Chains A and B, each alone.
Chain A
């Protein structure tokens, strides 16, 4: 169970998050959506430890992890998929997945890892394992590798920050398939997204506005409400 209590984040004298509280249970799939600047990505980064909250608490399975580093949170079971995949000169897809699975550097014997299955989850074949994580991969391929690296983690909480960003329509179809399968996982899942096809996979949708939860409820009702607003 991840429990966010009264999270606040201020930047440049502006409130990005204002007393935001949220609980996500194990096995629950929550999509967080809302207009640009509503604080969605900041919220995801604060949970993963990439950004430090101004105040408030983050509780994972009863333990206060608010002051823990990115590494410590990762070791506690928080996995984060970046909105913008990172390039690495000299690291291969295999290297990244090995680090994701073991939490160790690549010169340490990884034991037996089924790299092919990890890639298959995001619709890539084994030939990608020895590709560099660099400009030789397309945006969609990089994004899928990024998602695979998060899925490879032994996670209690999986966070995806706009997984649909930067991918083409063909890759997006596969991505929806990935998230359909994710529903079977026992961990908690938070997905930051604007895409209704991803929202439709969720148990619950949370709509942020001005750093606060404006609405929250079951996916079908919230999608209907969003469509009504946009009509």
Chain B
């Protein structure tokens, strides 16, 4: 593994919460090249065309694989295709994430396509954080996440755009068989003139399948966010989506939910709320001694926590 400079260390820390090389399986990618890779007893990490094939053995318990990506070269564009095969009864956490530092005049772009095949009764937690730093306004991250859940499996997706990403076009799709469950939590902060687009879709094919999709976002300054959330119920199933957004300055958000119930016992619910920070929330925190700015910061940090 190459020696990291401070910018690289900061990016890895921010997107994957790592200070040192993890003990388990990992793949670190910097500027389009793998700079460190390791498999573990239960998790195999091997290269494939434009990315990785990651295989988790059946019945693996409480294991973790880290696969963060960072870009520090201005003008770089890459597309990474990673496929995950989670064996039956396995329980694994996958820590991904992408950080871009761009101080040049050119656009830096990461396109990540992650496809998960989650085996029967398996459980996977996927953590993906995106972050941009540096003065350039050309930091672009476009993730595509596809999840195929076998019978009675469970996936938890924690998707977060921390800050500093100038443009993103996110697609998250899931297909669930009998008894499968998915929880998607997406959090997004946009500032300046940043633009974010996110489409999340869950297809509830199986009996007793459950999808819970929670989107929380803050659009500040002149930034713009567009959300489309779609749940389709093809069986006796439950789907819930919740889209909450806070606006500041001239920030704007459009949320377009759609529910498609194709079975009489499909229970699909959507909730949405978009608006500025409630005055009574500010009053309450100010009555405890915070200034208005501190209260706004506290509310936004809590909302995106």
Q: Are B286 and A86 in contact, CB atoms less than 8 angstroms apart?
A: no
Given A71-B292, A90-B303, verify A99-B286 contact (CB < 8 Å): no
Answer yes or no: A176 CB below 8 A from chain B CBs. no
Contacting A at CB under 8 A, from B88-141, are none
Interface residues on A, range: 20 to 34
User: Does A79 have its Cβ within 8 Å of any Cβ on chain B?
Assistant: yes
Q: In this complex, what residue of A is CB-closest to B305?
A: A90
Q: Which of A106-162 contact B (CB under 8 A)?
A: 106-107, 149, 153
- In the complex, whether A226 has a CB less than 8 A from a CB of chain B is no
SS class, residues of chain B in contact with chain A: helix
Q: How many residues of B contact A (CB 8 A)?
A: 24
Does any Cβ of B come within 8 Å of A67's Cβ? no
In the bound assembly, the distance between CA atoms of A80 and B283 in angstroms comes to: 10
**Considering the complex, which residues of chain B in the window 252-299 have a beta carbon less than 8 Å from any beta carbon of chain A?**
278, 280-281, 283-292, 294, 297-299
Q: Contact at B305–A99, with CB atoms within 8 Å?
A: no
Contact among A80, A89, A90, A105 for B294, CB-based, below 8 A: A105
Given known contacts A89-B216, A91-B302, is B288 in contact with A103 (CB within 8 Å)? yes
Given A71-B292, A86-B280, A105-B294, A50-B287 contact (CB < 8 Å): yes
The CA-CA distance from A102 to B294 in the complex, in Å, is: 13
Whether A50 contacts B244 by the Cβ 8 Å rule is no
Residues of A within 8 A of B304 (CB): 90
Give the residue name and chain of the B residue nearest to A103 (CB). B289
* Contact in complex: A99, B285 (CB < 8 Å): yes
Chain A residues in 8 Å Cβ range of B294:
104-105
* Distance A17 CA – B265 CA, assembled complex (angstroms): 57
Q: Is the CB of A106 within 8 A of B298?
A: yes
- A88 contacts which chain B residues (CB < 8 A)? 281, 299, 302
Closest approach, in angstroms, between the C-beta of A8 and any C-beta of chain B? 22
CA distance A105 to B94 in the complex (A): 31
User: Please, which residue of chain B has its CB at the minimum distance from the CB of A100?
Assistant: B288
Complex contact B299–A103 (CB within 8 A): no
Q: Are B289 and A89 in contact (CB under 8 A)?
A: no
Q: A residues touching B (Cβ–Cβ < 8 Å)?
A: 48-50, 69-71, 74-75, 79-80, 82, 84, 86, 88-91, 95-96, 99-100, 102-107, 149, 153
Given A48-B287, A99-B290, A103-B288, output 20 extra A-B contacts at Cβ < 8 Å.
Answer: A71-B289, A74-B288, A75-B289, A80-B287, A82-B283, A82-B284, A84-B280, A86-B280, A88-B281, A88-B302, A89-B216, A89-B244, A89-B302, A90-B302, A99-B285, A99-B298, A104-B289, A104-B290, A105-B298, A106-B301
